């Protein structure tokens, strides 16, 4: 079955390369029994990959079920998946079949697999390795023939490092990885999806479909879309109901959803990091860059003053090669000529040629640009400057005292 036929059959909209790659991989592995791990942010449509694989596989006539493992309480998830015997726990008044028994011969889609408890992960690993499981409260080993497709919106490698996910289970699940791109990685698909949703809601509310002007299209393409396709669909429905105009402008969009003005600024974020944390760390980074700009301006002023005064003696500092104590008459004339030329044309760039090999042997050390290291460095400097007074240090950094305390604990900074 070709790509376009699959898109039409399963109602998938979009032509981005990342989306097409994910669908092609799903088509290729559908007729096998390989375990698949679908990765992607929440709301990108990972369940559509499960539907494609099941419907195009030899199990298509068997049962299929999607389970959000993160929504099942830890105390009952083993019973839900593997079943239980009567009297296995309080409230177990009768035998119960689990999903691995009722979906035998079919496909199980385990969404948010990263939230699965560790003991349940051990049971799942046994199913993947041997097809065997045991009901809660029973000692009888049972067999099942189920294909597992797992999905996650978190970094499982980070979970493994924190001992919250089994590494052996990860490699069992990750036989074939499929990554579904986020909406902000599919900018060319945003307008297509908008028109599709607009047509759907026009039919639902018996109105004419709304359209976007050029400014409106650019606004939506530059937005981050943390809620992905779900968020876009909700926005289109709001515009279809609330807008009095058929052609939607950027101003109309902002009046309905002001957060669309937020741009996709680059930032380094770890798994599980909150928006508040990202904002606080960007504030520290901006302050660091602002201070760096001031240092560069001071250095420029120093260089210009040395050129104009013809004083090329640079004081010795750690990590710097000392300048020569004297210069020849020829070199002095060259400097004077450069200085006069600089005064006559102040807007021209000044080029300083090295007169000897003193500077050529200097080692250029690449600056450490790690955001985490710079955060620690700035906090240490602020605490040292204010002699450990957190309140004064937090004001200097432009963050709250509570945030500063959390950063000190998080990075284990000595006060």
Query: Smallest Cα–Cα separation from 73: which of 93, 55, 91?
Result: 91
- Residues 91 and 9 grouped into a single domain: yes
Residue 236 domain boundaries: 184-261
Confidence of residue 323 (pLDDT cuts 50, 70, 90): very low
- Residues 374 and 290 grouped into a single domain: yes
Contacting residues for 223 by C-beta, under 8 A, at least 6 apart: 184, 260, 262, 263, 264
Across 88-92, 162-166, 342-346, which has the greatest mean pLDDT? 162-166
Mean pLDDT calculated for residue range 235-244: 94
Distance CA 22, CA 339 (A): 62
- Whether residue 222 is predicted with pLDDT greater than 60 in this model: the reply is yes
- Residues 23 and 152 grouped into a single domain: yes
Q: Which range among 245-254, 278-287, 296-305 shows the weakest confidence by mean pLDDT?
A: 278-287
- Residues 207 and 321 grouped into a single domain: no
- Residues 143 and 60 grouped into a single domain: yes
Q: Domain count of the chain?
A: 3
Place of tokens 């092609």: 24
- Residues 62 and 173 grouped into a single domain: yes
- Residues 297 and 321 grouped into a single domain: yes
Confidence of residue 283 (pLDDT cuts 50, 70, 90): low
Confidence of residue 399 (pLDDT cuts 50, 70, 90): confident
Average pLDDT of the chain is 83
- Residues 195 and 283 grouped into a single domain: no
Distance CA 198, CA 193 (A): 8
**pLDDT at residue 228, rounded to an integer:** 95
- Residues 244 and 140 grouped into a single domain: no
Between 334 and 298, name the one with better pLDDT. Answer: 298
Q: How many CB atoms lie within 10 A of CB 257?
A: 16
Q: Which range among 182-196, 289-303, 322-336 shows the weakest confidence by mean pLDDT?
A: 322-336
Contacting residues for 414 by C-beta, under 8 A, at least 6 apart: none
Which of 181, 215, 243 is the endpoint of a domain? 181
DSSP SS3 for 329:
helix
Which of 240, 261, 282 is the endpoint of a domain? 261
């Amino acid at each position: 079955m070709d790509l376009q036929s699959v898109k039409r059959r399963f109602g998938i909209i979009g032509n981005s390369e990342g989306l097409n790659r994910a669908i092609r991989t799903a088509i290729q592995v559908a007729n096998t029994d390989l375990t698949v791990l679908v990765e992607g942010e929440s709301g990108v449509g990972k369940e559509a990959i499960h539907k494609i694989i099941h419907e195009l596989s030899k199990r298509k006539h068997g049962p299929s079920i999607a389970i959000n493992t993160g929504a099942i309480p830890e105390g009952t998830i083993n019973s839900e998946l593997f079943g239980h015997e009567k009297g296995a726990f309080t409230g177990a008044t009768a035998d119960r079949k689990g999903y691995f028994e009722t979906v035998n011969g079919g496909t199980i889609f385990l969404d948010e697999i990263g939230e699965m408890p560790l003991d349940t992960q051990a049971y799942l690993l046994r199913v993947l390795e041997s097809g065997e499981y045991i009901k809660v409260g029973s000692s009888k080993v049972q067999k099942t023939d189920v294909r597992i497709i797992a999905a996650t919106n978190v970094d499982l490698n980070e979970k493994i490092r924190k001992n919250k996910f089994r590494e052996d289970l990860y490699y069992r699940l990750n036989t074939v990885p499929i990554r579904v791109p986020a909406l902000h990685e599919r900018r060319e698909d945003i307008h297509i999806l908008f028109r599709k949703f607009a047509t759907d809601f026009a039919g639902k509310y018996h109105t004419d479909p709304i359209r976007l002007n050029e400014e409106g299209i650019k606004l939506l393409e530059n937005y981050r879309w943390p809620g992905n396709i779900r968020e876009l669909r909700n926005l289109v429905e709001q515009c279809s109901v609330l807008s009095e105009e058929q052609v939607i402008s950027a101003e109309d969009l902002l009046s309905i959803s002001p957060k669309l003005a937020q741009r996709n600024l680059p930032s380094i974020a770890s798994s599980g990091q909150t928006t508040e944390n990202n904002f606080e760390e960007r504030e520290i980074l901006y302050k660091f860059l602002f201070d760096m700009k001031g240092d560069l301006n001071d250095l420029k002023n120093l260089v210009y003053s040395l050129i104009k005064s013809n004083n090329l003696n640079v004081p010795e500092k750690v990590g710097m090669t000392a300048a020569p104590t004297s210069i020849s008459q020829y070199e002095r004339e060259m400097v004077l000529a450069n200085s006069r030329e600089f005064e006559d044309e102040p807007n021209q760039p000044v080029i300083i040629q090295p007169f000897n090999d003193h500077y050529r042997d200097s080692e250029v050390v690449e600056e450490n640009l790690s955001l985490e290291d710079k955060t620690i460095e700035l906090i240490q400097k602020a605490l040292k400057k204010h002699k450990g007074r957190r309140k004064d240090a937090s004001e200097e950094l432009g963050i709250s005292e509570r945030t500063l305390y959390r950063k000190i604990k998080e990075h284990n900074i000595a006060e």
